[in-house]
Structures are given as C-alpha cells and as structure tokens.
Structure 1
Amino acid sequence: MFKIIQLTKWIHRLIFLWLLGGVSMGEPNTQATYITGTIIDSTYFLPLEYASISVINPGTNYKILIGGISDENGEFSIRHTLIGHYTIEVEYIGYETRAFPDLKFSDEENYTIDVDLGKFNLLPKVIKLEKVDAVGFKSPLKVGLDKKTFTISKAESILNQPAEAALRKIPSVDVDIDGIISINGDQNITVLINGLRLSGTHGEKNPYLDLITTGFIEKIDVITNPSVAMDPNGMGGIINIILKDDIVDGFHSSTSFTYGNHKRYNGLLRLSYKKRKMEFELTGFAKSDFSALNSEREYEWQYDSFSLGSIQKKSTTGNPLTGGINFGSTLTISDQNTLHLGSFFTAFNHSSRDSIHHKLPVEYYMTSNDIKRGWNLDASIIHALEFSGDNFLTTTAAFAQSGEHQKEINDRNSNGTGPDDHSHIYQDDAIETREFESVYKTQSPRFGMIQGGTSYQSLAINSELEYLHAPYGFDFNEQVSSGYFRVQKSLKRMLSSLSAGIRIEQRNTSTSVYDIELPDSHQHADTSNVFVALIDSSIANSPPAQKVLYLYPELKTGFTSMDKKLSLTMRYGRRINRVKLAMINPFPVSMIDDEYHVRKGNPFLKPELVDIYQINFSFRLNTKQHPMFTGNIIYKDIQDLIQWHDVDFVIINEQSFEILTADNVARGKSIGYDFALSLSPTKNIRLILDYNNWIQKTSGKGETDLIGNSSGNITDGQIRIALPWKVDFELWYRRYGKHKLTIGEIAPYYYVDLSFGKAIIDKNVYLTLSIHDMFNSRIMDIYTEQAITNPTSGVTYIQKLNAIKYNEQRLISLGVQFNLSAFPTLGESKRDRINKQDRPDDIDVDY
C-alpha cells in the first residue's frame, strides 16, 4: 500500500511539473530541447505505436540515458538536456532495430539542440526462404493496449466471406447465433465504415455486415473506450471497418470467387486506375448465402394447484441474395489540398420461410413467408487542407439512405385439411442520415498535439406497418450537434503520454406514432386483437420532443518501463447509448409466433449514460519477439440502464397477454476483464489465447424482472501454422461459458473453425478451403424462471422456459483469388495522405 501511495504522489508530481513547462532531467543549466520523429511500417506504410526509442552512450557499454515510446501516430517527442554525441536506437517487436549513430545533441558552445529524425521506416524481420518452401507469416490480429486490429489481407482463411466472419476472429468480439454483435458481452456498440456511421448500421443486428464482404475490407479496428474525438455513442465500444484503398500508378485488377455447400457463392471484381493526381477505384460483388435457424421452446406456468404448458418448434430457412458496387476517386489538387469522393450502393433480397409447429395447448401448424427486399446508398466527400507541416484541417460531409420492404404471408392450419387462417403483414422502413464534421489539428512543442472539432449528425427513421388492412406510421428524428477540444502530450521516462479532452453535445429528438388515413379505407377494426390494441395504445401515448445537453470528459495517461517490457495505460471517459430502432419501435414483432408472448419496442426509453474506467497493460519477456501478455480491465457505472426483458401485461376483453419490451433501470454497474497471450514458439507457428469475462449488477426501484445480476465469459484459442509448400493452416476455437441472466442462464457451448490456404506465387493465385462450425456444436440451451403476478386476478405464478436455438452452420467453402495485376502498396494509402493521422487516438483513419 505504501508503494502505491508513493507511486501516486510521483505521478501527481510529474503531471504538475509538466503543466508548468515539462519534465526535465539531465544537466541543470542547459536549454531544454526535444528528440522528435515519426515511425512507420515499411510494408503497409502505417504508423507504429509503442515503438521504443532509446538514447545510448556507446562509451558506457551502451547504457540507456533517456528514452520513450511512439504514440498512436507513430510520433515521438522526448525532451532532453544532453551535451555531446550519442546514438539513438529504435526497436519494435517483429521489426529490425534501426540505429542512428553519432548524433549531435549540442552545438559548439555546449547548448542543447533539437534532434529531428524525420519520418523513417522500420523493416519487418525477414524470414529466409529455401527453394519453394516459403514459411513464416504476419499474424492478421494485432492486440494493442487501446485497440485490437484485424488485417484482412493477412487472413486468407476468410477470403470473400461476410464481414461477420472477420469479427468472429477477433477476441472479445462476438457475433451471436442471431447475428447480434457484442464487445465483452456488451451489445451497445457502434459500427462505422471508414469512420462514418452509415444507413445500414442503425438496427439491432447491424445488417450492413451481412452486405459487405471481406474482399472490400483492409482491416477492422475494435476500440473499447475511444477518445472524445470520436462519436460517444455505444458504451460497448466502436468497431470501425476500413475499406481497401491501396491504389498505385497505372491500371490494376483482381478477382476472387468462393463456392460453398448449400448453394452459396460469392464473386468480387476490383479495378483501379491512377494517373498523376487522379485516382479511381471500382469494386463490384454478388453473393448468395444460406441461413437455417432452428428453435424449440417449452413454457410451463406453475400455479398453486395445477400447471399449464406450451410447446413450439420453429425452423427458418433462406438463401439471401446481395449485390453491390463501391466507387471512389481522389483528386490531389496540390501538395496541401486533397479531395476524396466515395460511394457505396448495395441491394438485397433476404427472403426466408418460417415453419412453426405448436404442440400445446392446441396443436396446429403455421407457415410464414417473409419477403424482405431493400437497398443502401452511402456517399461521402472528404477535403484535407495542410497549412504547414503541423497544421491540418479536415472536413467531411456524408449522406446515407436506405429502404426496406418486408411482406409476411401467414397461413395457419389447425385440422390438416386446409388453411384455417390467412393474413398478410406489410412493413416498410426508411432511414436517412446526414453528417458534417470539421477537425483542426496542430502540433505544439510545449503542449503536444492540440485538436478541436465540430460535428452535426441527423437521423430520420420512418416505419410503416399494415396489419389487418390497417396502416400505421412511426417516425423518429434525432439531431446531434457537438464540439470537442483535446490535448495530448508525449512525455519521457515512465510517463509516456498524457491526454485530456472534453466534448459538449446537444441532442434533440422527436417521436410520433399515428394512423395512416386512406381515401378508400377498408380497415377492419378489431379491438380484441392484442397487436391492434398495442399499436392503438402507442398512438394514444406518443412521447414528447426532448432536448438534452451532455458533457463527455476524457483523461488518459500511459507509462512504459525503461526496458520497454512493460506498458500501462489508464483512462477515464464518458459515453452514451442512444436508443436503437428495435428498442423504440412500438410495432409488435413476432406477430405470428406466439400471441401470448409479444415483443415490442418502448418509445419512452431514455439513453443510457455511462462512466468508463479502464486499465490496459502489456508485458513481454523481451523487446525482440513474443511471448506477449496483454490485459484489459473495464469498470462501468451506468445511469438509466436499459434492460431488454421487461415483462408487462395488457388486458383485452378480460384476457391477459404477456408483453416483452425494454425499460430503464435506475442504476447498473459492470466490471469486465480480458486477458490475451500471444506467442510464436517458432517462426512458422503463431498461438493466441484469450479469455474475457463480464459481470453486471442492476439496482433501483424498478420492476423485479429488471433487477438482478448477469455474467458471462468467452475463451478463444487460435493457432496458425505456415507449412511447407506455401500452405497455411489455421484452427480457431471459441467456447462460451455459462451465461447467467437476471432470470435464468444459458448453458456452455462451443464451435471450431478450420481452414487451409495454398499460394501459387508464379501464377499469382491463392486457394482456400474453410469449414465453419466443424462439429455443428453451436447450440444455445436457455433456461429462465420468474415469479409473475397477473394484474387482473392478482394471482402469482411461476413461469419457466426451456429453449434451444441452433444453426445448421457447418459451412464448407472453397475460394480462389486471382490477381490479374497486383496491388502493391508502394506508398501511403490515400486515406493516410488525406487525414495525415489527425485522429491520433486509437484509429488510423479520420473519425
């Protein structure tokens, strides 16, 4: 405890000295000056974060005098008071050490001078090849202190597959059996494409990830606690999908094709052209996928003297069709002006068929053909202006629109001789987003990086439902205006960096639920129908417009040991969970499955506000190679926590119907931790082990079904082996531990993925064979139990649910990628040139 107190006092003293003008160590009566530079990867031309910089004296057995590490931009600024000539060494794991010998640190009069190394590369360690047995590779997964990065170009096993396949390879990120994404068990996340929130990412399941394939993607960044420079929405964190943009001089093209069982196929063609200051890129794809979700659920209601039951089996199958075109162009107006235009259009037909068998209390069969068609259009323009080497202004304008039409045709047969009931349900959803952002960045020798920006976002959602020939409408509008200011200072010795910032945001919302009047209406009013009654109740109780002001502070500090083996960061930040469409849409869902358990949204939901405290650390045995151990501990204090299992009742003609919806709980607290071990026993083998666990506690005066504790854990294991004859092998294992719910639990289960890849270098061809869920073991077994009081009769009973949900997901795919002409990365990508890394915190693109 005494050491902790002393360390705290030492940290406070360093921060205080820095605010007065910086920390200086060395000769007392000399002028304080700086060692500066920028470190980038020589292959991908991306900045290298946490590279170590050491100033050594060759005359004293290479004793390290001072040192530091690079920040998220690959930049470093180390204050020094050294007199004489010294050597600087730069090291980074997996890269060759670079030395700058005999550098002058002072002038002829023994006054210290600045030492600027400029921008320089580090070379990856080269693995010698013998004959054709090329072995060794770079792992696609990079686990850092602040983020996890998965580089698609290094993961041939998921060639031309949906983006979800890549997310499943990232530890602590999960795509569950229903397609819902979570980070460390938290489903409240934000999905960005090139730093922008697009039209297809506002739903609960983020359907945009079903549309985009890995052939478009360069890499995926996962950040659990972003800075104030990014959108504060999503307390679980941000997933940013960065599309490819590696364009070089001349005309280039590549194509890939994947075929799998269940009549799945995926084809992609990519073209690019560059001449002088103009760049063009066109990518098109088409795919046919397969889905098969099965579920069984058994309800039991236990009263004092008797019990009731209900048994249902449901099977959903479909072959979703998707196609899309991505077009982008970049114009370099001058050395200081760059303009980039981008657009992405997708169209889809995700039709499916449900087969439902009710066994109890009355046996009947029901089928539902769900025809779902739609489109997404996203466009953006980015202008970058460089005033000088340290002053940048980036302006972004983006527009996105999507439309979806859904038609359900339902047939119910109770006697086996013909349809007993027939109905149609139509629903149309339209989403439109607009975004404008301007960011200014400058570099100060005294205060470090100074950054400020303003942004405006608007979201308009219109949903129309026709049920029993009665049309209804639901509108939701949101406008968010914000501004932020942020300072980041790189220090030396153990305290590597200190950053602070504040974002101010005003959020305006309006919601309305209404009848749609038709000139020749033939509506069939049926107030005894539970679905109509719920909609009518929502129309009569539409929430009022709201205007709320939010403040989001940020504070971050980082340390590294002098031997560069241990790194530590601590961060505090505030984020918000703006409600999603599925949470607030008052129209009932599952309108044919079970009329006694209806789910609907809650338009009165308030956003969650969360304070996040995070500690990250990494340790490696040496600075040259693996093993490397990383840890991440997160504590969250949540206001107005949203629980997505609130049980209410509605009374129709003296009959009670159970309604499942969402509601706010007074308070919630959660703690999660994620530990990862990465090691390479040989140059040809890479192992990654990861374990993450989360616990959430809710409290307050809310309803009893909302109050309680939940927890869960996920274990990941991955082994990649570079075999002889240019064959890559990958085995990936994920196990879900027991997941405790507030009213029940989900039993443990697991699944395994396997893949082989073969490179034919002479013909520029890469072949892959992959198997997803090799043992068909991804089965969710759910049990819940809760006491419920009927508001009409006052009788309390116990409701038990046993449910099983599983996919037919043993998917076997064979893929081939053929480069008609290569896409070598000979320089910076256009996004790096445009943004000049003006968002130094966590992500390498403009947010």
Structure 2
Amino acid sequence: MVQKIMVLLTTGIAMFIPAVHAQSVSGLVTDQQQQPALAATIALLRNSDSSLIKTTLPDDNGRFSFPHLPPASYHIRISMMGYKTYNSPDFILDKNQEYKLPAVSLLQQDAQLKAVAVTAQRPFIEKKIDRTVVNVDALISNAGSSALEVLEKSPGVSIDQEGSISLKGKSNVMIYVNDKPTYLSGADLESYLRSLPASSIDAIELMPNPPASYDAAGTGGIINIRLKRNKNKGFNGNLNAAFTQGRYANSSNSFNFTYRNQQLNVTGNFGYTFNNGYSALDINRRFHDSVGETTHYFLQHNFIARHAQSFNEKIGVDFYASAKSTLGLVLTGTQNPSNSNNDNTSRLQDASQTPDSSIHALNNIHHRFNNVGINLNYRHQYDKNGRELTVDVDYLRYNTGSNEVYDNYSFLPEQALPYANDQLTGQVPAHLDIFAGKIAYTHPFKSGYKLAGGLKSSYTSTDNLAKYYNRVDGEYLPDYDKSNHFLYHENINAGYLNVNKDYKKWSVQAGLRLENTVSIGHQLGNAEKNDSSFNRNYTGIFPTFYVSYKLDTASNNVLALNYGRRIDRPYYEQLNPFISPLDKFTYYVGNPYLRPSYMQSIALSHTYKSKLTTTLSYTHVKDDMNETIAIVNGIYYSRPGNIGSQTMMEINVDAQQGLGKVVNLHLYAQLTYLHSRSIFYTGILDNQSTFTMIMPTVTVTLPKDWALQADGRYQSTVTSAQFILGRRGAVNLGVSKKLSPNATIKCSAQDIFKTQINTGIINNLALTDAQWRNVSDTRRITLSFTYRFGKAISDQRKHEDNSAESEMNRVR
C-alpha cells in the first residue's frame, strides 16, 4: 500500500512539473603529484556580493560539478589542507550554458600546517528546503559556552527556567546529536546539553517540519546538533580551552583529532567541563476565598547552588574494506556527576501579611548521569551516482540516579530555635537500555529523481526505583507514598519512503512514514500502594511535502511551501504514577493516562536573493502535552497533562545583509498568535496571546584579523496553556583575534545588562494566585583559545567516507 502511494505521488509530481535544462559548472582538480585531490573543498561564489552559493567535494577521479545554476557571474575557490588556495578568474554563466573550468593543479605548502586554507566565510544562517542551519563558530559569544546556551542563541529557539526547549513557540522538541536521538528529557537532557562544549559543535540544524527519514516524534520539530569532524587526510585536530567568570567560575575544554590513511579513519572527540551556577527563585502564592478575599499568603525564596563536572568521549573507526564498502565502529561515553544545594525559606502570613510561621529547608541532591553507547555501521556505494545501502545497529545504556536529603526546620514568629525538625531521604536509581537498528537504501534515477527508503526498529527498557524514608524519633521509616518501582518497555517499528527532484525552477521533496508503537508500563506497588499496569498499541501515518519555485532565472525570488504531520509520545518518566518531591511543598506526579499528541503544520515562505526570508505558518496540535499545576490542601502538584487543542499562527523574518566588506547584519524576528483550549482542573482553560521574538546580530570585520560582534534576543510576554511567561532578553558582546593561521583567541561578555530573568504567573489554580521570579548566573565573561594542528599527506586514498555519521536517527 505504501509503495502504491509513493508511485502515485511520484507520477503526480512528474505530470505537473516540466522537464527543463539547467546551467552547470564542472571541472577537474589534482594535487601537485597530478593525483585526484580527494580532500579538496570546492566553493562556488557569486561575484555580485561574494556570497557562498554551494560547496562540493570531488569524486574519485578529482572531478566536480555544480548543476542547476541560475545565470549569473561566478568564480570558484578551491582549498585543501597543506595546499595553497586556488581562486579562479570570474566567469559569466549564460542561459543553457555548461561551463567547464580548466583543470586545476593545487600547489603544495609546507607539510606542517604553517598556513590553513582560506575558504569563503560560512554565514551565521543557511537556509535549505527542509531545515535552517546555524553555523556555531560564526557567533563569537558562543565561545566557551555549552550546547544549551548555543541553542538559546539560535533563531526561534527558546529555553525556559526548567531547561525545556521550544522552537518557534512550539514545545516538545526532539534533540538529536549527529542525526541520533538523545533519548533524554527533563533534567537529564538539560544536564547533558550543559556538559557538551560549544567548541565541539559544528552546526545546529533547526527542523520545524523534518523529512520522512527522521522519526515522526516531536510535535515541536527536531533540533539536530552536528559535532565537528575533521575530513583532512593525515593527522589533524584542534584543541579548545575556555574559562568563564560570572558569580561562579566555569570552564569548557575540548580536544578532537582525526587520523586518515588509505584504509583507516580514526576520529576522537573528548570534552571536559566544570559548571557552577545558581538560581535565586521566588514563588509567591495568595490564597483567597470564592469571592476573592485574601485568606493567607505563602512566600518561598530558594537559593539553589549547582556544581557539576562532565566528561564526554567519542571514538570512531572506519575501515575501507574496498573502494565501495566501509565498516564502522563508534564508541561514546558521558559521565556527569553533579551536586545541588537548596537553601529554602518559606513564610506563611495571614490576610494582613502578619507572620504566622516559617520553615527553613536545607536540601541536598547528589545526581549522577552516566552513558555508554556503541554503534556498528556498514555502507556500500554501488556506483558513483549515489546509489548506496547503509545498515546501523546501536546499543545505548544510561545509568542515572540521585541521593537526596530534605531537612526542614519549622519556626514560630520571633523564635530563634525551631519547634520541629523533619527529614526525608531518598535513593532514586534509574537504568535505561536502548537497542535499535536501521537499514536504508538510496537510489538516484537518470531522470533526476532520487528515491530513498528504509526500515527502523527500536526497543527501549527502563527500570526506575525510588526509595524514600522519613526520620521519626531518630529512626528512618519507609515513606510508601513516595517510594515506587516502575518498569517501562517500548517497541517502535517504522518504515519510510522519500522522493525528491531538482529542476531548473522547481525543487520537490515528498515523503511518507509509517510507525507502530507498542508500550507496556508496570508499577510494582509497595506495602501501601497496589500495583498497576497499562499497555498501548497504536499506528500512525505521517506525510511530509516540500516544494520550492524560483520566480526568476537569477533565483532572486524563491517561493517555498511545506506540510507535515508529526507525533509526540510521552516520556517514560511522565507515565510513572508515583510522587517525586522537589521540596516539602512542591511535588512532581506522573500521569499514566497521558496520551500522545498529534501535530499538523503548513508553512509558506518567500526568499529574496538568499538574504531575506519571510515565512507564514499555521500549526494545530491535538492533545498537546504540557506541564500542569494543581493545588491540593496548599500543596503544589506538577504533572504532565493533555491540553485539548493548541493553535498557532506565525509570521517570521530572517534577514542577512552585508554593508561592504566590513559589516554584516543578521536579524531574526517573529510574531506569533497562540490559542490554547482544554477542559482543566478548575473548568475550561481558554487562553490566547500574541508575542514577539527579536534576535539581531552585528559582526564587524577589522584589519589584522580582528572581529567584533554584538548579538541579542528579546521575547515579549507569552501566554501558553496555564502559564504567563514574562518578557526577557539579553545583550552579548564579543571580540576575536586570529593570532596565527592556527590559533584564535576570543573574549565575550554575556547578558551584560542582567536582563535574562525568568518571571511568570500561573493561571487556573483553585482559589489561588501565584507568580514567580528566577534569577540565575547569566552575566559572565568568557576567554577562549583555539589551536588547530595537523600534517597533510599527498598520497590520498581512493574512497571518501562519511558512514560513521551517515545514518539517520533511531526510532524512539
């Protein structure tokens, strides 16, 4: 059935898109020994504004081509490690012309990297038909930061005080690393992203509507983090060290290397960070009766100091069994111990704000996060036209957990000594095992169509144990209301087909994905709680479609349309029905009745000269999963819940403009209308809001390899479901200096005006008004140093590899 649908879809596309001839540029590049320069990078640049149009790599014979180009004036730039950069004369590409560049022979420099090839500068933002690419190193203020901070500086991305990530106003975003899902959520995902140094990241791919080759999970879309990988032959690498000083000191350091010869490619990435930070969180609650008269106040002040270390390791080996076949092995690991100390003061006041009593809490949580992973992969290229088969098998193991101590001291007004003291302790280990496999096949046709398809299967097993004890008269007695043992198993099987073709003016991509999910949850119970279980089995079809059309031959005006349907499944911990304390007055509760949510979106965009993109989009989510807050007897319970429907309409603008050769401007701005409606704890929830986000960046290139940069972000007040999130923003400044072809130093100041403060209001509470304010260690200065090293070799191998990162994401 799926094959029939794809055949009909392909036939339909062929009927309404005419076959046309396009302009092209081709050539041949060799090294000084007249061997194919397989490690060369060929860049096509437009002469009118020196902008980078496309890059490519040569084939096994050193030949390269740029097909389907609009008529214009261009030049070619070719670079390769250890060789002098070649710049071609300018040439004009006329209509229906196939321009052949004269053969290029690169001249070799000293084998040691006394100079690094200069290529066209990568822009901060690159637009593609199905994603937006953010080049991390283009933003100076990213130096010395973490992956979490890099994400927040990316266009359209927001991160709340809990570390939850949204993309263009939509939550439930899936985070991938090198096209693989992290399988993490909540505090574990936040900890992992904080432990990943920005210096190890090459690019961020933002996909509000990912293609069918990606998992359909994530109604907010997918953010894919691509790590750096050196493709030069020989032994190459770079070292990055950064020190940050705010209220506390932090450091982020990374080292990566690549060794490549004829039959072997070995890569390594290592990172070490220590992160120290704080949160000063105030939560104020006013309790009232049914007519609105105040009955009492409850005021909380929390000072949370966090200290963490992290180690990240990745080793990859590719073996070229033949000119067409590659075997790969990738080993990964993460260790992230952390400690959190919470000094909490809670004050209870009567209606006239006269003190009634107070509680001083000293809470300590020691958290551990350990992960190991292994990937085996195989890639076979049948021919030089791109027909290939890839196979991947993965195993991931996460060991997480925490040791928790909650000490509470109760005081009466004007008393120095507590009249009561209670203590709760907990041990909360968790284990997660993931087995996954994928096979994918790509087949280009002579007609220009490219058909891709694949099958994926994954099995996830989690084991979560929580043991809590109350101290009573010096003895520790089990707290059965909070203690639990939860087991969860999930199996997802998926298949997809994707077809695409580029014409002179048209580009089309369409896909269809089928996913079946089987999940079983079992709460084992205890001496006071009965055991319970649930199981689900559901299947979904998820189409995607992209089309772009060039309104003129110079591609100055391009229209694009995309549509997609996606799903968001509950995380396993969200389904755990037992209670987990955050403090004595705030608890997290799972929801075994949580349903998956489904999203449909459509977007229309116009791009002018690859510099200005305007997008209109509409999104509708059914059963959107969101945090909900309920108050029972004065205690806050946070649990995930389904919001009946959420509708979003948005217009956004993404603009880049160079002012001569010195100044470059980038601006991202969006205006969003959000409407949430659902049956809620206190009746009908029906909230609407319109909010804006603005993210400007100014870069100034100065003589003698100096650069200055200023960037910022501002988001107005947002009403989303139960919450009103206050406006906030930040301004960052940075300066960089290239000390040599190999060494660069950067200095940046983040949030210089200390305006990145989270504030908000919680609506729809029973007889309660609540608001919060959270200040953290956001104003900081960072100094970073990067050094690149390596030795190029002239004896190039005959096979170009990318198999270690070629597989797409694993099905969750």
The TM-score bracket by the shorter chain reads 0.7 to 0.9
Task: Determine what percentage of the aligned residue pairs are the same residue.
Answer: 16
Q: Distance in 1 between matches of 2:130 and 2:728?
A: 29
Secondary structure of residue in 1 paired with 2:299: strand
Alignment counterpart, residue 341 of structure 2, candidates 336, 347, 353: 353
Contact map agreement 2:179 2:805 (CA 8 A) in 1: no
Q: Distance in 2 between matches of 1:783 and 1:829?
A: 62
Residue pairs, 1:350-389, within 5 angstroms: 350-361=338-349, 362-389=357-384
Secondary structure of residue in 2 paired with 1:325: strand
Structure 2 residue 314 is matched with structure 1 residue 326: yes
- Equivalent residue number for residue 669 of structure 2: 691
- Flag the 1:188–1:709 CA change in 2: closer, same or farther, 3 A: same
- Equivalent residue number for residue 579 of structure 2: 588
CA shift, 1:315, in A, is 0.8
- Flag the 1:20–1:780 CA change in 2: closer, same or farther, 3 A: closer
CA shift, 1:800, in A, is 0.8
- Flag the 1:93–1:421 CA change in 2: closer, same or farther, 3 A: farther
Contact map agreement 1:645 1:705 (CA 8 A) in 2: no
Q: Distance in 1 between matches of 2:804 and 2:177?
A: 15
- Equivalent residue number for residue 249 of structure 2: 263
- Equivalent residue number for residue 167 of structure 1: 151
- Equivalent residue number for residue 807 of structure 1: 776
User: Structure 1 length as normaliser, TM-score?
Assistant: 0.78
User: Structure 2 length as normaliser, TM-score?
Assistant: 0.81
Q: CA RMSD in A?
A: 4.1
- Equivalent residue number for residue 414 of structure 1: 410
Contact map agreement 1:671 1:694 (CA 8 A) in 2: yes
Residues 118-157 of structure 1, C-alpha deviations (whole Å, 9 max, x = no match):
9999x9xxxxxxxxxx999543332445322122344454
- Flag the 1:176–1:657 CA change in 2: closer, same or farther, 3 A: closer
Residues 744-774 of structure 1, C-alpha deviations (whole Å, 9 max, x = no match):
5233222111221111116x32112122211
Q: Distance in 1 between matches of 2:101 and 2:384?
A: 11
Contact map agreement 2:262 2:798 (CA 8 A) in 1: no
- Equivalent residue number for residue 246 of structure 1: 230
- Equivalent residue number for residue 397 of structure 2: 401
Contact map agreement 2:457 2:811 (CA 8 A) in 1: no
Contact map agreement 1:571 1:615 (CA 8 A) in 2: yes
Q: Distance in 2 between matches of 1:196 and 1:39?
A: 35
Residues 178-200 of structure 1, C-alpha deviations (whole Å, 9 max, x = no match):
32221112221111111111344
- Flag the 1:784–1:199 CA change in 2: closer, same or farther, 3 A: closer
- Letter of the 1:410 counterpart: Y
Contact map agreement 1:711 1:741 (CA 8 A) in 2: no
Structure 2 residue 735 is matched with structure 1 residue 735: no
- Flag the 1:402–1:600 CA change in 2: closer, same or farther, 3 A: same
Q: Distance in 2 between matches of 1:120 and 1:461?
A: 58
- Equivalent residue number for residue 658 of structure 2: 680
Q: Distance in 1 between matches of 2:348 and 2:792?
A: 60
Secondary structure of residue in 1 paired with 2:155: coil
Structure 2 residue 497 is matched with structure 1 residue 485: yes
CA shift, 1:364, in A, is 1.8
- Letter of the 1:709 counterpart: Q
- Flag the 1:88–1:589 CA change in 2: closer, same or farther, 3 A: same
Alignment counterpart, residue 342 of structure 1, candidates 330, 349, 353: 330
Alignment counterpart, residue 536 of structure 2, candidates 526, 533, 546: 546
- Flag the 1:290–1:701 CA change in 2: closer, same or farther, 3 A: closer
- Equivalent residue number for residue 473 of structure 2: none
Secondary structure of residue in 2 paired with 1:732: strand
- Equivalent residue number for residue 709 of structure 1: 688
Contact map agreement 2:71 2:93 (CA 8 A) in 1: yes
CA shift, 1:394, in A, is 1.1
Residues 56-107 of structure 1, C-alpha deviations (whole Å, 9 max, x = no match):
xxxxxxxxxxxxx99999998769xxxxxxx9767599998975879999xx
- Letter of the 2:452 counterpart: Q
Contact map agreement 2:676 2:720 (CA 8 A) in 1: no
The structure richer in strand per residue is 2
CA shift, 1:299, in A, is 0.6
Q: Distance in 2 between matches of 1:238 and 1:832?
A: 25
Contact map agreement 2:132 2:205 (CA 8 A) in 1: yes
Q: Which moved more, 1:423-432 or 1:242-251?
A: 242-251
- Flag the 1:342–1:45 CA change in 2: closer, same or farther, 3 A: farther
Q: Which moved more, 1:346-355 or 1:156-165?
A: 156-165
CA shift, 1:548, in A, is 0.6
Contact map agreement 2:244 2:251 (CA 8 A) in 1: yes
Alignment counterpart, residue 601 of structure 1, candidates 590, 593, 602: 590
Q: Distance in 2 between matches of 1:394 and 1:117?
A: 33
- Letter of the 1:423 counterpart: L
Contact map agreement 1:583 1:662 (CA 8 A) in 2: yes
CA shift, 1:598, in A, is 3.1
Tell me the matched-pair count. 735
CA shift, 1:319, in A, is 1.8
- Equivalent residue number for residue 642 of structure 1: 625
- Flag the 1:829–1:283 CA change in 2: closer, same or farther, 3 A: farther
Secondary structure of residue in 1 paired with 2:729: strand
Contact map agreement 2:463 2:485 (CA 8 A) in 1: yes
Structure 2 residue 491 is matched with structure 1 residue 507: no
- Letter of the 1:317 counterpart: A
CA shift, 1:515, in A, is 3.0
- Letter of the 2:235 counterpart: F
Secondary structure of residue in 2 paired with 1:230: coil
Residues 728-755 of structure 1, C-alpha deviations (whole Å, 9 max, x = no match):
2111111111112445523322211122
CA shift, 1:829, in A, is 14
Contact map agreement 2:643 2:721 (CA 8 A) in 1: no
Q: Distance in 2 between matches of 1:427 and 1:630?
A: 48
- Equivalent residue number for residue 452 of structure 2: 451
Residues 257-291 of structure 1, C-alpha deviations (whole Å, 9 max, x = no match):
21222232233333332232111122322221111
- Flag the 1:560–1:204 CA change in 2: closer, same or farther, 3 A: farther
Q: Distance in 1 between matches of 2:147 and 2:212?
A: 27
Contact map agreement 2:497 2:511 (CA 8 A) in 1: yes
- Letter of the 2:754 counterpart: N
Q: Distance in 2 between matches of 1:270 and 1:444?
A: 38
Q: Distance in 2 between matches of 1:395 and 1:204?
A: 29
Contact map agreement 1:246 1:830 (CA 8 A) in 2: no
- Flag the 1:368–1:656 CA change in 2: closer, same or farther, 3 A: closer
Q: Distance in 2 between matches of 1:384 and 1:118?
A: 32
Contact map agreement 2:490 2:517 (CA 8 A) in 1: yes
- Letter of the 2:464 counterpart: S
Residue pairs, 1:742-821, within 5 angstroms: 742-743=721-722, 745-761=724-740, 764-786=742-764, 788=766, 797=767, 799-821=768-790
Residue pairs, 1:518-557, within 5 angstroms: 536=529, 539=530, 542-557=532-547
Residues 784-825 of structure 1, C-alpha deviations (whole Å, 9 max, x = no match):
34363xxxxxxxx3x111211111221222122223437899
Secondary structure of residue in 2 paired with 1:245: coil
- Equivalent residue number for residue 602 of structure 2: 613
Residue pairs, 1:52-201, within 5 angstroms: 99=91, 137-200=121-184
- Equivalent residue number for residue 631 of structure 1: 614
- Letter of the 2:466 counterpart: L
- Flag the 1:406–1:555 CA change in 2: closer, same or farther, 3 A: same
Contact map agreement 1:640 1:666 (CA 8 A) in 2: yes
Q: Distance in 1 between matches of 2:75 and 2:574?
A: 46
CA shift, 1:383, in A, is 1.3
Q: Distance in 1 between matches of 2:800 and 2:347?
A: 58
Q: Distance in 1 between matches of 2:668 and 2:674?
A: 20
